[in-house]
């Protein structure tokens, strides 16, 4: 393992220990997604066909993106900055990009695992197995990346963890609201103006993943516009993070 790999591993393990010591975070990380998926299966399996699962699954994924990845990333990085932990790491031999990836990687990994857990629970007990799991996996990975980059940006706009709670709410609500808005079109799928939002793109990808229209390759082609939308939003978040992120306390 090279130097960067060892540095990332050390930062990852240190952050995992810090998260594990917080019983509230540990409980939320495991109980919340299982509970949400169980509730979806219990209340929905009698009334939803395979395609009908797409919207509720998409909304649960948006919750994971917003709560686990975006809000936790914002709070964690703000807290580490207040403790001067980021500044100390940066003063050593670790590159800036390695510090950010290492510190945020446990939350990112947790977000991906939670999303996959929801899909698995719905698939086993729903039962609703996506016809094109690759589309859903790409949607999850891009959604997590999008949420993390906006978390990096948001933490640069606040001075304390108390402010971070409130500052994170607008984008969190934006994710959910755009998903709900896209769902108003039902099985027809999001319109163009809805598709250009993160929630709309995710709902569209979920409908493609859980639908059975066309071949596997054709579904991948159909998914390209929504995947492109999520990629663009991720790029916007990355540019915002580069512009607003701060390594030291805001005065």
Q: What is the pLDDT of residues 45-85, one digit of tens each?
A: 655 655 578 888 999 899 899 988 998 889 888 888 888 87
| Residue 79 neighbours by CB under 8 Å, 6+ apart | 161
- Res 134: pLDDT: 94
Distances (CA, A) of 146 to 168, 188, 238: 14, 26, 8
How far apart are the C-alpha atoms of 80 and 67, rounded to whole Å?
Answer: 18
Residues 32-65, buried b or exposed e (16+ Cβ, 10 A)? ebeebbeebbeebeeebeebbbbbbbbbbbbbbb
Q: What is the pLDDT of residue 227?
A: 97
The answer to whether the pTM exceeds 0.85 is yes
CB 146 within 8 A of CB 239: no
Output 82 or 207, whichever has higher pLDDT: 207
- Residue 2 has a pLDDT of 66
216 pLDDT band (50/70/90 cuts)? confident
Q: How confident is the model at residue 23 (pLDDT cuts 50, 70, 90)?
A: low
Q: Which of 197, 196, 195, 217 is nearest to 207 (CA)?
A: 195
């Amino acid at each position: 393992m090279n130097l960067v790999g060892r540095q990332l591993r050390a930062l990852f393990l240190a952050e995992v220990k810090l998260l594990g010591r917080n019983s509230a975070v540990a409980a939320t990380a495991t109980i919340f997604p299982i509970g949400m998926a169980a509730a979806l299966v219990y209340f929905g399996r009698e009334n939803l066909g395979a395609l009908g699962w797409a919207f509720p699954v998409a909304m649960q994924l948006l919750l994971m993106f917003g709560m686990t990845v975006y809000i936790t990333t914002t709070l964690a990085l703000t807290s580490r900055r207040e403790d001067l932990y980021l500044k100390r790491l940066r003063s050593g031999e670790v590159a800036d990009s390695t510090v950010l990836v290492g510190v945020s990687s446990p939350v990112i990994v947790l977000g991906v695992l939670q999303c996959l857990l929801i899909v698995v629970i719905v698939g086993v007990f729903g039962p609703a197995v996506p016809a094109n799991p690759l589309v859903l996996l790409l949607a999850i990975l891009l959604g997590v990346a999008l949420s993390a980059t906006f978390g990096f940006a948001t933490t640069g706009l606040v001075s304390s963890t108390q402010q971070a709670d409130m500052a994170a709410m607008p984008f969190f609500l934006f994710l959910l609201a755009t998903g709900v808005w896209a769902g108003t079109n039902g099985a027809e799928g999001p319109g163009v103006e809805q598709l250009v939002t993160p929630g709309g793109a995710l709902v569209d990808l979920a409908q493609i993943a859980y639908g059975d229209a066309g071949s596997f390759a054709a579904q991948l082609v159909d998914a390209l516009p929504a995947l492109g939308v999520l990629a663009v939003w991720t790029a916007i978040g990355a540019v915002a993070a580069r512009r607003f992120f701060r390594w030291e306390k805001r005065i």
